[in-house]
Amino acid sequence: MHTKALAALCAAIATAVIALDISTVTARNLSLSNQNIRVTFNNLEFSPGFGEPSTCRVTLEGSFHNRTSAKVAGSLIGYLTRVTTGQCSPNQVTILTATLPWHVRYQAFSGRLPDISLILAKVFGESLRVGPCLARGDVDFGAARDPVTRELIGVEVPTQQIAVTNTEFFCPIETVQFNSNGLGSIFLSNSSTRVSLTLI
């Protein structure tokens, strides 16, 4: 991941607690223009700890439960129902689709109300195979928002690790590390329409 992008995301996470305190005063809900979304990463990088990291194009599709959600940390706001990988190099990364849907929970936001610039959320139950290793865990991500247009303009996955669930001799590691290596795109499903987010 680019150093500047990682630094910006870390700073946003650090200020999210302050933003949560502000949220109790005004603008209690988040309102989305669309419920169905598609997120695409061109260079999602997986590092199993041996050999070269694998870089893949990854597409995630899902939906939010409602157009309007309360800003309550930990609340379930939607599901990811379809995840695909492609153009992986040098090793294939396979999503364990039997574990879908994955739950998406709201965590926090960053920025001064009403001009928030980042929504932080967590995906629960992400499961995949990298080479001989099976891994499963919960993944943090941030959705960047343009305060002027109110559109969600990209999604970033900070560097993090999920636990390996098979520890036999053919997978001699305990975690798989990965990051988005830049911003992924976010649009309405089957469209090039941006998703807007407002506070009400």
Q: Which helix (H) or strand (E) holds 109?
A: strand 102-110
Give me the DSSP letters along 127-153: EEEETTEEEEEEEEEEEEE-TTT-BEE
Share of the chain above pLDDT 70, in %: 85
Query: How far apart are the C-alpha atoms of 58 and 27, rounded to whole Å?
Result: 34
* Most confident region among 15-19, 46-50, 63-67 by mean pLDDT: 63-67
pLDDT of residue 190: 92
What mean pLDDT do residues 52-66 have? Answer: 94
pLDDT of residue 96: 95
Q: Are the C-beta atoms of residues 159 and 140 closer than 8 Å to each other?
A: no
More confident residue, 12 or 193: 193
Residue 14: pLDDT band with limits 50, 70, 90: very low
**Taking the model in full, what pTM does it have?**
0.82
188-198 pLDDT per residue, tens: 999 999 999 99
| CA nearest neighbour of 18 among 94, 120, 97, 159 | 120
For the chain, the domains span: 3-199
pLDDT of residue 167: 66
Residue 6: pLDDT band with limits 50, 70, 90: very low
Task: Tell me what the pLDDT averaged over the chain comes to.
Answer: 86
Query: How far apart are the C-alpha atoms of 146 and 144, rounded to whole Å?
Result: 7
Q: Are the C-beta atoms of residues 126 and 137 closer than 8 Å to each other?
A: yes
Q: Is the pLDDT of residue 20 over 50?
A: no
What mean pLDDT do residues 122-134 have? Answer: 92
| CA nearest neighbour of 156 among 11, 20, 28 | 11
pLDDT of residue 18: 43
